[in-house]
Amino acid sequence: MLTHDAKTVAISDMKTVAIIQARMGSTRLPGKVLADLRGQPVLAWVVCAAQATFGVDAVWVATSVAASDDAVAEWCKSNNVAAHRGSEADVLDRYAGAVKASGADVVIRLTADCPLLDPAVIAQTIRLRAVTGADYASNIDPATWPDGLDCEVVTAETLLAAAKEATRASDREHVTPFVRNNRARFSAENLVAPLPGLAAERWTLDTPEDLALLEALAGRLPGDRPPSYLEVLAILDREPQLRVLNKREERNAGFALSLSTEKLDTSRRYDRSQHLIDRAERVIPLGSQTFSKSKTQLPPGAAPLFVTHGDGGKVYDVDGNQYVDLVSALLPNVLGYRDPDVDLAIRRQLNRGISFSLPTTLEMELAERLTRHIPCAEMVRFGKNGTDATSAAVRLARAATRRDRLIMLGYHGWQDWYIGATTRNLGVPAAVSALSHLAPYGDLNAVEALLKKFPNEFAALILEPMNTAEPPAGYLQQLKDLVHRHGALLIFDEIITGFRWSIGGAQARYGVNPDLACFGKAMGNGMPISAVVGRADVMRLMEDIFFSGTFGGEALSLAAAIATIDKLEREKVTDRLWAVGGELMQQVRARVAAAKLDDVVGLVGAAPWAILTYKDHATASKEAVKTLLLRELIAAGVLINASHNVCFAHSAGDIAHVLTAYDHALGVLREALDRGDIERRLGNQVIRPVFSVRAAS
């Protein structure tokens, strides 16, 4: 293992070249790279910043062979700046040519539309890659710096590999996505900004409005050296009205446009996933910690089995494939991956510590928020997953009523009291299973029959207030009245509906308050946290029963939950989930009907969590129909296993991609059913359910 001194020697032996991407043919602002900025072309500002950066051995400009870029080449020649000319459209190939021409070992990728680049930020990114030994380092993934301070540092070997292997048009136009997406192959690091909120700043040049802001800033900055980003911030703090000049522009609009115009690619390979599952299964049963994330729930041999990272509404697998993610980690990711507000809260708390010897005030701060938003919540206790919360609620109900039996309507976790009533009851004592009774959702008579069959024996009825269908009119209130007449408590399992149906859960949407309620999943936007809430008189029994865990007050998850709930309230997130999920549901149903497949494929449930259903066809089982549909959706770049788990970060482009994928997948399914050969094509390679917990009405 290298010592710090040895690493320093190795770093100094590597030729580090800044290569600036520059061309005149901008769509929205032609000629921008040579636009005048206080007497100097924009390109000169970028070259100056690169030359002033500690650790840079040479500066090159990579422009194209197009006649329109002769002006760039001439400027470089006149100013003694090395230049390489290559393909106009294939920018990755142009970079590869510049790498070879310059003899670089390490490449700093800069773009000529960022005149306010800070040499100190570039130098830190160079150093980050060097000391970590990463193949790639940047300050953009995720973005925490102003748009316009973008810097990427990549080894020449890595960039040349990308140039040789990348096939997507967007990968070749934008140079580094192939590297960033292939995290299992190329190690990556990110330089996080030390100040919060910087990602909202826009200092890049792509529109006339951007140029107006940059001209205003340039006139206020010192002219004898590249500016520090702190100097730019100081100007904007003194004159905040300047930010209005380009406030409506979106970050990375060009990349989003490239993705939207690409032809649908269904040629994904899963070789690395298949290799890794063999390795994982040697030490992990099923190769996964979660049944619903395991290979059993995906098309055999035709789906990713491991991911490397996520961003917004997308996720990336170990083979470098990109997907719009409609699983959302089984619904925790209500805001999306790497949400900047939640990530900031986690980083801030990480600086203070994770788990402590006494409670932190975060516990009461989060509990106060829950009691403010959730109608039934008078007191709160925290757990780490949904089963913690539902099991705590069941124990409270048994303590409050001094009864043992339970009625259950839905899925409620893996503990004995629930799973013992299902076909997955291996290992559960028969005496425990005998106390748990399943009943169909929406059937009051079935519940009443159980209550009468075992009078004065039921502690509680626990249900998901909604899953595959809206509750019948008056059903939830009538259910509450019924169980109360028989001396039992009503528990809402809002692990899924909480913070999706509304910030107060389904109980707030439907106007019925249970005695106890369980929340989790979306509560921490991916961090492990859950809560049982309810009436104070029942919750105070927590002081007598034993519900206690070392990590109940773990601070990172508490901080994440506070940030999540505050953003849900501030940004009206659940309104967007209903809108986006509703539009997706409507459009998919229309496509299913147009393909004449509504006899075998359906969508039930609610917009924030629409569930796919399947029926047998004359030539194929419902399991085969499901397997083929999911296989083709995944091949088209949509990660899905059972439902539309939409999140706040899903963009219009993401949803458009999902609909294009459905067009493809439904077409394949229709053709296969018409030929009658689905079962033959799939063989026995179909998805089998773990067990059935929610019957579609």
Dihedral of the alpha carbons of 646, 649, 652, 654, in degrees to the nearest 10: -70
Token reading at 259: 């993705």
Instruction: Give the lowest-confidence range in 123-127, 485-489, 677-681.
Output: 677-681
- Half-sphere exposure for 351 (CA within 13 Å, toward CB): 6
pLDDT-derived band at 6 (thresholds 50, 70, 90) equals very low
Are residue 252 and residue 277 in the same domain, yes or no? no
Mean pLDDT, rounded, of the chain? 95
Work out the average pLDDT over 480-504.
98
Q: How many CB atoms lie under 10 A from the CB of residue 359?
A: 12
> Averaged over 436-447, what is the pLDDT?
97
Report the CATH number that the domain containing residue 238 is assigned in CATH.
3.90.550.10
Max CA separation in the chain (angstroms): 95
Q: How many CB atoms sit inside 10 A of residue 243's CB? A: 13
**Would you state the pLDDT for residue 250?**
75
Q: Is 560 inside a domain boundary?
A: no
Backbone conformation region of residue 365, classed left if phi is above 0, alpha if psi is from -120 to 50, else beta:
alpha
Looking at the fold, whether 594 and 489 belong to one and the same domain comes out as no
Last residue of a domain, one of 508, 523, 553: 553
What does the pLDDT read at residue 650?
Answer: 98
Query: Is residue 538 domain-shared with residue 656, that is, in the same domain?
Result: no
Taking each helix axis as running N to C, give the angle between helix 573-594 and helix 652-675, from 0 to 180 degrees, rounded to the nearest 10: 30
Q: Does residue 148 sit in the same domain as residue 106? A: yes
Query: What ranges in 486-612 are assigned the alpha helix state H?
Result: 505-510, 536-539, 555-570, 573-594
Question: Dihedrals φ, ψ of 63, to 5°?
Answer: -120, 180
Residue 10 confidence (pLDDT): 53
Does residue 684 register a pLDDT over 90? no
Q: How far apart are CA 595 and CA 632, in angstroms?
A: 15
Given a cut of 60, whether residue 9 has pLDDT beyond it is: no
Residue 349 lies in a domain: no
pLDDT band at 604 (very low <50, low <70, confident <90, very high): very high
Report which of 348, 325, 350 is spatially closest to residue 337, judged by C-alpha positions.
Answer: 325
Q: What digits encode the pLDDT tens for the residues 204-243?
A: 999 999 999 999 999 999 989 999 999 999 999 999 999 9
Residue 605 belongs to what H/E stretch?
A: strand 601-606
> What is the chain's length?
697
**What pLDDT, on a 0 to 100 scale, did the predictor assign at position 3?**
41
d(CA 76, CA 82): 7
pLDDT confidence of residue 351: 97
In a domain, 344, yes or no: no
- For the segment 542-551, the average pLDDT, to the nearest whole number, is 94
Report CA-CA distances (Å) from 516 to 376, 412, 424, 532: 7, 14, 26, 7
- Cα 274 to chain centroid distance, Å, stands at 23
Three-state DSSP string of 288-329? CCCHHHCHHHCCCCCCCCCEEEEEECEEEECCCCEEEECCCC
Q: Point out the domain boundary residue: 494, 522, 553.
A: 553
CA distance 464 to 581: 20
What pLDDT is attached to residue 116? 98
In this structure, are 503 and 586 located in the same domain?
Answer: no
Total domain count, the chain: 3
The reply to whether 281 and 397 lie within a common domain is no
pLDDT at residue number 1: 34
**Other Cβ atoms closer than 10 A to 672:** 23
pLDDT for residue 131: 98
286, part of any domain: yes
**Residue 12 binned pLDDT confidence (cut-offs 50, 70, 90):** low
CA distances from 399 to 437, 510, 538 (A): 19, 28, 9
Residue 492 and residue 628 in one domain? no
Question: What is the domain range of residue 482?
Answer: 355-553
| pLDDT (0 to 100) of residue 680 | 84
Last residue of a domain, one of 207, 229, 261: 261
Omega cis (within 30) before 142: yes
| R_g of the chain computed on alpha carbons | 29
Query: Same structural domain for residues 320 and 423?
Result: no
Query: What residues act catalytically?
Result: 411, 493, 521
* DSSP-H helix ranges across 499-546: 505-510, 536-539
| pLDDT number for residue 692 | 63
Whether the predicted pLDDT of 290 surpasses 60:
yes
> Would 618 be classed as within a structural domain?
yes
Q: Which CATH number characterizes residue 402's domain?
A: 3.40.640.10
Give just the sign of the alpha carbon dihedral 122, 127, 130, 131.
negative
Is 596 part of a structural domain of the chain? yes
- Split at pLDDT 50, 70, 90, the class of 438 is very high
- Assess whether pLDDT exceeds 80 at residue 137: yes
- Please measure the distance between the N-terminal and C-terminal CA atoms of the chain and give it in whole angstroms: 61
Tell me, yes or no, whether 442 and 316 share the same domain. no
- Mean pLDDT in residue range 306-314: 98
Amino acid 693: pLDDT? 59
Is it the case that residue 339 has pLDDT exceeding 60?
Answer: yes
Q: Buried (b) or exposed (e) across 369-384, using 16+ Cβ within 10 A?
A: bbbebbbbbebbbbbb
Our CA angle for 122, 128, 133, nearest 5°, is 135
Question: Mean of the pLDDT values across residues 400-406?
Answer: 98
- Residue 561 falls within a domain, yes or no? no
Same domain membership, residue 627 and residue 507: no
Per-residue pLDDT, 11: 59
- β-bridge mates for residue 412, sequence order: none
pTM of the model as a whole: 0.94
Residue 689 is predicted with a pLDDT of: 76
Q: Please give the average per-residue pLDDT across 34-63, as a whole number.
A: 98
119 and 185 housed in the same domain: yes
* One-letter amino acid for residue 634 of the chain: I
163 in a domain, yes or no?
yes
**Would you state the pLDDT for residue 248?**
75
Residues 329 and 433 in one domain: no
- Report the alpha-carbon distance of residue 21 to residue 86 in Å, rounded: 11
Residue 4 pLDDT greater than 50, yes or no: no
Residue-wise pLDDT for 554-583, tens only, equals 999 999 999 999 999 999 999 999 999 999
Instruction: Average the pLDDT over 254-273 and give the result.
Output: 85
Supply the CATH number for residue 607's domain: 3.90.1150.10
